[in-house]
Chain A
Amino acid sequence: MSGHVAAVAIAGVTFSYGDAPVLEGVDLNVAEGEFLGLVGPNAGGKSTLLKLILGLLEPQTGEVLVLGRPPTEARRLLGYVPQHPGFPRDFPITVEQVVLMGRLGLGHGWRRWLGGWSQGDRAAARAALLEVQAADLANRQIGTLSGGQLQRVLVARALVGEPRLLILDEPTANIDQRMEGEIFELLRALNARMTILVVSHDVAFISAYVTRVACLNRTLVCHRTEAINGRVIHDLYGEDVRRVAHRHPA
């Protein structure tokens, strides 16, 4: 363990698609072990920032380091749960196979590239499904799952590669509130062994779980969760947002 390396270190990053700037002078340091919430309005640049961290985009200026190295070299240490899964729901594939795909790129020597899944891969897939309480879904076809079940499976797929940094993009956008609480309880438990970065539009809800909130609307401002108040939300969204009172974990 290299305890002094930041999980994510972003310095002076500016990014634009064509003429419109999406991110301006963004600095962000996430320490290992942190549980960071990234909030902000739609089109505020949240997904773009995630893509920079994942190495799917490159910044025009500034630098992104993930676990002390360029993002593309850190990929095998990341788990990622996308907001919109990049596959058609009617694809002929079982839940177990979907989760196994999170093991790609692991293994040593020729096993990394050639042949099928190893015993270790299968055991890891079972363990990951067990951890998200979806072990009974292993043989189901992916298209038969409900929104909440699919979300659990996608978390399992991100966990199965034993990541040091788990990144989730709006993990609760398509599921009901009870399930939302369950997912965040799961993340809280996972946070004991990995850094977590979660994007959400729901600042009130996530501040009950995360240790720090980063507010992104082209520029980025960080707050300890204790400091979230009406003023912050007003500055971020440009209007008063109905807030739900909640207790902070000790």
Chain B
Amino acid sequence: MSEFLQALGQHAFLQTALLAGLLAALGCGVVGTFVVVKRITFLAGGIAHSVLGGMGAALYFGLDPLGGALAAALISALLIGWVRLHWSAQEDTLIGALWAIGMAVGILFIAKTPGYTGDLMSYLFGNILLVPARDLWVMAALDALLLLVVGAFYRQFLAVAFDEELARLRGVPVTGFYLLLLCLVAVTVVLLIQVVGLILVIALLTLPAAIAGHWVHTLGRIMLVATGLGAVFTSAGLALAYAPDLPAGPTMILLAGGAYVASALGTGLMQRRRARRRATRIETTRHGA
């Protein structure tokens, strides 16, 4: 650990990586909370994976892959939202298909791109150490956009996440806000792809919010705690991976996964113990009387 701190002082690429992790944590805390409570993890997975299509196309045409990823994520978010709203009978099949088709398109584009195309692995599994410093500004701008939109329409997002029928009866344009929420998921996915790659995005998007949901019970607090947890997982993952030269993305994911299992077991155990204590108390008062 001290070795990491020392290196952090010396190497700009490590500082950039640390900042990228913190910027990603903000998005995964705020938007990940909606993904967890609205139970749209599968939709978010579909959006994340089909992003490869856009990255591949951007590479092939010599454009910025980050821009391609953003465009692809937004398109697939709207496509998946449209499927969910109009074909609910076969929703899971169609989203699964979009998921795979997006990836297939991306791999074909990358295979046909002339010259050196970089490492496919770094798209799939991320490489936080290779985040260019200028991308930090893009990430910060995307974070600001997320916070602004969620802050402005917090009540409507809460209503659409909580009870769509009520939201519709109160005059909230539910379809519009649902699609907007999926677009926010798309933006967050792009933020996180920088850090952990598109295969692992789903874990960093959902696990911090899911862990927070074990311990706090309002949406706002879950967002705060999840952001904090996301920051811990990305920073600690980076630090742990440094000395043994492990890939940082998978290290962060294993940390988050381990914390989730521990938290789920911990809350389960606590609930059981509380129930047992209550039962014993009732039993002793019965016998005492």
Contacts and interface: CB of A to CB of B under 8 A. Distances in A.
Interface of A: 54, 56, 75-76, 78, 80, 82, 85-87, 91-94, 97-98, 100-102, 104-105, 113-117, 141, 157, 161
Contacts of B216: 92
Which 6 pairs from chain A and chain B are nearest by CB?
A104-B170, A105-B171, A86-B165, A87-B163, A105-B170, A86-B163
A170 B37 CA distance: 28
Contacts of A101: 155, 158-159, 162-163, 166-167, 170
B230 to A, nearest CB: 17
Contacts, number: 75
A93 B159 contact: no
Interface string B90-133: 00000000000000000000000000000000000000000000
B10 interface: no
A104 B152 contact: no
Nearest to A98: B162
A57 to B, nearest CB: 12
A117 B220 CA distance: 14
B156 interface: yes
B6 interface: no
B172 A104 contact: yes
A104 B171 contact: yes
Contacts of A141: 217
A92 B222 CA distance: 8
B285 interface: no
Contact of A114 (B152, B159, B217): B152
Contacts of B159: 101, 104
Given A75-B171, A93-B219, A116 B155 contact: yes
A238 to B, nearest CB: 32
A118 to B, nearest CB: 11
A105 B172 contact: yes
Contacts of A78: 169
A33 B154 CA distance: 36
Nearest to B164: A86
Nearest to B209: A92
B213 interface: yes
B170 to A, nearest CB: 4
Nearest to B152: A114
A166 to B, nearest CB: 13
Contacts of B158: 93, 97, 101
Nearest to A55: B169
16 contacts: A56-B165, A75-B171, A82-B165, A86-B164, A92-B216, A97-B218, A100-B155, A101-B155, A101-B158, A101-B170, A104-B172, A114-B153, A115-B152, A117-B155, A141-B217, A161-B170
A100 to B, nearest CB: 8
B273 interface: no
Interface in B193-235: 213, 216-219, 222
Nearest to A161: B170
Given A92-B222, A97-B218, A114-B152, A80 B169 contact: yes
B168 interface: yes
B169 A91 contact: no
Contacts of A157: 166
A35 B167 CA distance: 26
Most chain-A CB neighbours within 10 Å: which of B37, B154, B155?
Answer: B155
Given A78-B169, A80-B169, A104-B155, 12 more contacts: A56-B165, A75-B171, A92-B213, A92-B217, A92-B219, A93-B158, A93-B217, A94-B217, A104-B156, A104-B167, A113-B156, A114-B153
